[in-house]
């Protein structure tokens, strides 16, 4: 039985899953079902760890069991990238289960017209790493004109005038960490 505070959290807007001491999901709220699909009875690392378009998730075979073995003070908090935005995954051992909650780290979400394609996000990341048009083109195997076209589209979408401003806006909107 969930306490009233736990029940409010579980039925909130953030996706929450609960894994039992064997690693299988024993509960998930509606937002988690919408995001992850029906996962009850499956291993947590197979459900959360397979989150589409997510990068840098710490989920791996047996991670719930390892967290429980580490003790009650061993909560794990991880930032990851999903859909080009920064998110946060908190996995907290409680009794003989682990509660995992997903949340968007960036408070200001990009407007629809600011949404960058996966290729634009890749090029944005290269720009943030200091790559030039020429070196970025070489790294991803496209022509320099293709890089310039993507940069121009990002400048338009993000309403900025320079490449530096594209990178700065990318950080502000959570596309870069």
Give the pLDDT confidence of 56-89 residue by residue, as tens digits.
888 999 999 999 998 877 888 888 887 767 788 8
Tokens of 7: 């029940």
User: Are residues 19 and 100 in contact, defined by beta-carbon separation less than 8 angstroms?
Assistant: yes
Residue 105 has pLDDT above 70, yes or no: no
Question: Is there a single domain that holds both residue 44 and residue 130?
Answer: no
Residue 26 has pLDDT above 70, yes or no: yes
pLDDT computed for residue 6 by the predictor: 41
| Residue 101: partners with Cβ closer than 8 Å, 6 or more residues away | 9, 14, 15, 16, 89, 90, 92
C-alpha to C-alpha distance for 164 and 4, rounded to whole angstroms? 48
pTM above 0.75, yes or no: no
Total domain count, the chain: 2
Q: Please give the average per-residue pLDDT across 93-119, as a whole number.
A: 75
Q: Which of 175, 54, 51, 35 is nearest to 116 (CA)?
A: 175
| Residue 168: partners with Cβ closer than 8 Å, 6 or more residues away | 160
140 is a domain residue: yes
The band of 1, judged by pLDDT with boundaries at 50, 70 and 90, is very low
Residue 75 sits in which domain range?
Answer: 4-104
């Amino acid at each position: 039985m969930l306490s009233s505070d736990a029940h409010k959290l579980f039925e909130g807007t953030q996706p929450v899953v609960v894994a039992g001491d064997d690693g299988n999901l024993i509960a998930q709220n509606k937002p988690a079902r919408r995001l992850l699909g029906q996962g009850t009875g499956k291993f947590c690392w197979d459900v959360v760890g397979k989150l589409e378009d997510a990068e840098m998730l710490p989920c791996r075979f047996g991670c719930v069991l390892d967290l429980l073995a580490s003790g009650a003070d061993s909560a794990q908090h991880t930032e990851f990238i999903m859909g080009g935005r920064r998110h946060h995954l908190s996995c907290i051992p409680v009794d003989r289960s682990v509660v995992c909650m997903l949340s968007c780290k960036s408070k200001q979400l990009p407007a629809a017209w600011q949404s960058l394609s996966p290729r634009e996000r890749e090029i944005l990341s290269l720009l943030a790493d200091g790559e030039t048009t020429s070196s970025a083109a070489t790294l991803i195997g496209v022509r320099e004109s293709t890089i310039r076209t993507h940069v121009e589209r990002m400048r338009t979408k993000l309403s900025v005038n320079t490449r530096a401003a594209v990178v700065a806006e990318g950080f502000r909107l959570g596309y870069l960490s």
